[in-house]
Structure 1
Amino acid sequence: MTPTWRKPFGMFVILALILVWVVIVASFSGVVARWQPLLQLGFYGVTGMIWIAPLKPLLAWMETGRWR
């Protein structure tokens, strides 16, 4: 097997997605800080798991070269 460019490129895409997601979530921190602690926990818990959803097709593409 010869190495492909997909894995290094995909790694940088994953890092970029994480960075963008962190900036988006952090931009809401002023609003979320005024919420009740349990609501804050729920918000950060949900947003902490949502970013994983786009990774499945990206990881599949990195491994196979196909999006499905």
Structure 2
Amino acid sequence: MRTEPTWRIPVGLLGLLLFLAIYGLVVARYVPEIIEGWPTLIQTLVYIAFGLAWLLPMRGFLAWMETGRWR
């Protein structure tokens, strides 16, 4: 267990917030134009997929924030 804070945690949180803001803006800007004519159920599934997709790289990112290594 760590007894002293590291610079990676605040930098990682700021990076995560920046990434999520950019990701959200890109999805909100471009996805509706692509899927606007699709059935509502399919649109819902697409937004669920995009809502969960940002979680994929989080395991490595959180490991880096805690240990300094990606694995």
Note whether the superposition's TM-score is higher than 0.5.
yes
Question: CA RMSD for the aligned pairs?
Answer: 1.1
CA distance in 1, matches of 2:35, 2:21: 19
% identity of equivalent residues:
38
Q: Deviations over 1:21-68 (max 9, x none)?
A: 112211221222221101101100111110101111110011111111
**Structure 2 residues without counterparts, runs of 5 or longer:** none
TM-score, normalised on structure 1?
0.89
Tell me what 2:68 maps to: 65
TM-score (norm 2): 0.86
**Aligned match for 1:48, one of 39, 46, 51:** 51
Runs of 4+ in 1 over 3 A off after TM superposition: none
Look up the SS of the partner of 1:28 in the other structure: helix
How many residue pairs get aligned? The number is: 68
1:37 aligned partner: 40
Counterpart CA distance in 2 for 1:55 and 1:13 is 12
